[in-house]
Structure 1
Amino acid sequence: MDAVTDLAAAREAVRRAVAASSAGLVGRRALVELVALSAIAGEHALVLGPPGTAKSEAVRRIAQSLGGNYFEYLLGRFTEPSEVFGPVSLRRLKEGFVETETAGMLPEADVAFLDEVFLGSTAILNTLLGLLNERRFRRGHTAVACPLRVCVGASNQLPDHEHLAAFADRFLVRVFVEPVGDPELEELLEAAWSHGQAPRAPEASLADLDALAAAARAADLAAVRPLLAHALRRVRGAGVELTDRRAARVQRLVAAAALLAGRGRPDERDLWPLVFAIPTEAGQRIARDALRDLLAPSENTSLPAAAEEGSLGPLARAARLAAQAERLLDGPRDDDGAGAFRLKLEAIAREIDAGFSAEATPPELARARERIVEQLSRLTDDDAGAAAPR
């Protein structure tokens, strides 16, 4: 199997992992996709939103689907460093060495989730700062390399304290979540009632992540770099603050997004991750508006929800609708009956017709609409046949 085939297989494995993780999670597909993107880019993500919005469930599912060692902890004011990094070895302490037993703890995790991350003590956050930056854990006489691909932090809101700003800045990707909107309440209730999430085998592997990460690091960004610089100037011109570090590291997200879309060389379709590197929700809204024309070409077949949310562009929306139609038409049918299946098809068709004129509908989306119309016609014929007198 050659390198190109390896990358295609790895990309497909990550795509399956994202689809499996977001199944039954209403309104959280973009969050799942952004965690996967962060893992491949080698960056960390911060999820901000009120309690009860499935932040931890989304991260837990994608971590499970990506494979590797997973560590999760809810931090509090009185959390001890040993609860996160491991206890001090008593045997070594008797010998005069302060060493940490890290087995099963954060220093040995491939994917980590830290809830209420800003509530950690100064000792925990200072140790985390080095671990997130350098992928090395140092405590006493212990100094070990960490296999961490991505750490996801979660909080109800950004911290106000200045001393937390440097720590918060280590989380490049910012995802703001809100409760599910009114139009999706029926879907939320249905999913909560009927879609228990049983443990499953990973859809992807650490080898898949590492192969994609290596290819992303080797990507040629020469063509997209002037476009990215122009976008950054526009964002700063609109009054949005973006540190030099964040501006530079956006390139990692752009390269990883392009690779997951099947593009070895990033182009204008891959600028949308810039929005998620902006640290505040208000700043992200301003950036979307300031970059509307630059982000219009955005699209990503592996990360359709994130590309659409980042860009609000028509191509990203078309890709998301086409993927949604494909999953519904080709995937396993739910046990809710033909009526529910028909309603879901009709909802997609209505969104296509509301968002795209016949002349402006992208070919892939036009084909998806044709398949939906054909399926609805068959369902109507089946209903008519069942209702006919015998």
Structure 2
Amino acid sequence: MTDTSLQAAAEHVRHAIRSATDGLVGRDQLAELIVLAAVAQEHLLVIGPPGTAKSAVVRRVAQALGGRYFEYLLGRFTEPSELFGPVDLNKLRAGTVETDVSGMLPEADVAFLDEVFLGSTAILNTLLGVLNERRFRRGHTQLHCPLRVCVGAANALPDDESLAAFGDRFLLHAFIEPLPDHQLEAMLSGGWRSDHAPAAGGGALADLDVLCRHLQQVDLGGVQPALANAIRQLRQAGVTLSDRRIVKSQRLLAAAAVLAGRLQTSEADLWPLLYVLPTHEAQQSARDVLRDVFANAAHPHLLSAVEEATLQPLSRAARLAEAARGCLAEEAAPERLRIESVLREIDANFGGEHLPEALVEWRGRLVERLAVAA
């Protein structure tokens, strides 16, 4: 079952993702997960070392979507007013404790909180209401928050149980690593290009809301039996999930469907389950346990997120084919470094004798274009 407005919205959001990640090599996965979380009306926790472009990706996605954006780096001495706004002094003189939230987190459509686990107990407790219920409560102030998605970031998961419980409120967990050696040239070229490129224009927030409205219409009957079997396989391998995370994972599967322009799910939509697992170790184990389950994983717009979740050759080949297609479709001649980068990644992932049929033609066309550009 499809819907014209749904398909158009999905395509527009995909275009926003592409514009947001232009020049940010190897970070398509993160941008795609932000949008997946936003459509599911859930939140994303990103774990990775400093300098891996976490904030840059969130900022660029927020610019591409449009709407109000709030970003803050938390520290041990961050005050609640720095996130939620100061007490309104005029109303305080009249005996009412209200918060002036103008330009602060309670008014944001997209939020990024770096070093989120460094927040005080008062901050984290208030954040729980904003994240879980989209409600801000402080003193006499009680507001509905328009927040589509909050991205929290940290260098590592906390050992403290209370902080781990807070981190569990982020349904998706993504673990980011520095780029591998074969992408260094592309990173340098893309970074220089993005530093001098104009910011991506907003306007996709309305399309995002269209997708959100369709979420409850998705038929999950085609995927629930397979999801239950996948959970059983994980349990047998010693990888467990709370009942709450299992039930909420269905929102991600439904979001994947609507982002593909569909109102029905299939076993190809099971891949977001990987990101529901809260630790890096659990995700690594799950990739092996669910290898057969993920064999047919696919998505027309979230190619990098699928590839990183499944580490399957077919999903990697699909993403590289799209990269080659985009490179060759540019009106102006693409940079030589960009062509070489795609070729280098194809060869790094597939030896000549193991090159998938879907990539044979694209690789040949890239080689031809490179010869012309020489």
Q: TM-score, normalised on structure 1?
A: 0.90
- Matched to 2:185, the amino acid is E
Is 1:286 matched up with 2:285? yes
Q: For residue 337 of structure 2, what is the aligned residue in structure 1?
A: 340
Q: For residue 214 of structure 1, what is the aligned residue in structure 2?
A: 213
- Cα 1:241–1:341, aligned 2, differ >3 Å: closer, same or farther? closer
Picking from 351, 364, 373, the partner of 1:354 is 351
Q: For residue 20 of structure 2, what is the aligned residue in structure 1?
A: 21
Contact 1:14–1:203 under 8 Å retained in 2: no
Is 1:376 matched up with 2:373? no
Contact 1:49–1:156 under 8 Å retained in 2: yes
Q: For residue 309 of structure 1, what is the aligned residue in structure 2?
A: 308
CA distance in 1, matches of 2:23, 2:261: 27
- Matched to 1:110, the amino acid is D
CA distance in 2, matches of 1:53, 1:75: 18
Q: 1:25-47 CA deviation, whole Å, 9 max, x = no partner?
A: 12211111101110111000000
- Matched to 2:262, the amino acid is R
Contact 1:31–1:58 under 8 Å retained in 2: yes
Contact 1:172–1:277 under 8 Å retained in 2: yes
Deviation at 1:261, TM superposition (A): 2.1
Contact 1:115–1:155 under 8 Å retained in 2: yes
Larger mean Cα displacement after TM superposition, 187-196 or 137-146: 187-196
SS at match of 1:184: helix
- Cα 1:16–1:96, aligned 2, differ >3 Å: closer, same or farther? same
- Matched to 2:42, the amino acid is E
Contact 1:13–1:204 under 8 Å retained in 2: no
Contact 1:92–1:99 under 8 Å retained in 2: yes
- Matched to 1:354, the amino acid is G
Q: For residue 296 of structure 1, what is the aligned residue in structure 2?
A: 295
Deviation at 1:167, TM superposition (A): 1.2
- Cα 1:341–1:54, aligned 2, differ >3 Å: closer, same or farther? closer
- Matched to 2:75, the amino acid is G
Contact 2:343–2:366 under 8 Å retained in 1: no
CA distance in 1, matches of 2:112, 2:373: 48
Count, aligned residues: 373
Q: 1:278-324 CA deviation, whole Å, 9 max, x = no partner?
A: 00000000001000000010111100000010011233222212211
SS at match of 1:112: strand
SS at match of 1:195: helix
Deviation at 1:182, TM superposition (A): 1.5
Contact 1:74–1:114 under 8 Å retained in 2: yes
Q: Where in structure 2 are the equivalents of 1:82-121 lying within 5 Å?
A: 82-121=81-120
Higher Cα Rg: structure 1 or 2? 1
Deviation at 1:48, TM superposition (A): 0.4
Q: For residue 30 of structure 2, what is the aligned residue in structure 1?
A: 31
Deviation at 1:202, TM superposition (A): 3.1
Deviation at 1:84, TM superposition (A): 0.3
- Cα 1:90–1:281, aligned 2, differ >3 Å: closer, same or farther? same
Deviation at 1:378, TM superposition (A): 5.9
CA distance in 1, matches of 2:369, 2:283: 44
SS at match of 2:195: coil
Over aligned residue pairs, what C-alpha RMSD do you find? 2.1
Is 1:272 matched up with 2:279? no
- Cα 1:291–1:101, aligned 2, differ >3 Å: closer, same or farther? same
Q: 1:39-60 CA deviation, whole Å, 9 max, x = no partner?
A: 1110000000111111111111
Deviation at 1:371, TM superposition (A): 4.8
- Cα 1:177–1:97, aligned 2, differ >3 Å: closer, same or farther? same
Deviation at 1:332, TM superposition (A): 4.7
Q: For residue 387 of structure 1, what is the aligned residue in structure 2?
A: none
SS at match of 1:61: helix
Q: Where in structure 2 are the equivalents of 1:1-390 lying within 5 Å?
A: 4-196=3-195, 198-333=197-332, 336=335, 339-340=336-337, 342-344=339-341, 346-347=343-344, 350=347, 354=351, 357=354, 361=357, 365=358, 369-374=360-365, 376-377=367-368, 380=371
- Cα 1:92–1:267, aligned 2, differ >3 Å: closer, same or farther? same
Q: TM-score, normalised on structure 2?
A: 0.93
CA distance in 1, matches of 2:147, 2:184: 36
Identical columns (%): 54
Contact 2:189–2:337 under 8 Å retained in 1: no
- Cα 1:204–1:27, aligned 2, differ >3 Å: closer, same or farther? same
CA distance in 2, matches of 1:13, 1:54: 24
- Cα 1:167–1:317, aligned 2, differ >3 Å: closer, same or farther? same
Contact 1:71–1:111 under 8 Å retained in 2: yes
CA distance in 1, matches of 2:240, 2:255: 24
Contact 1:88–1:98 under 8 Å retained in 2: yes
CA distance in 1, matches of 2:192, 2:205: 33
CA distance in 1, matches of 2:239, 2:280: 11
Q: Larger relative contact order (C-alpha < 8 A, sep ≥ 6)?
A: 2
CA distance in 2, matches of 1:131, 1:375: 48
- Cα 1:208–1:96, aligned 2, differ >3 Å: closer, same or farther? same
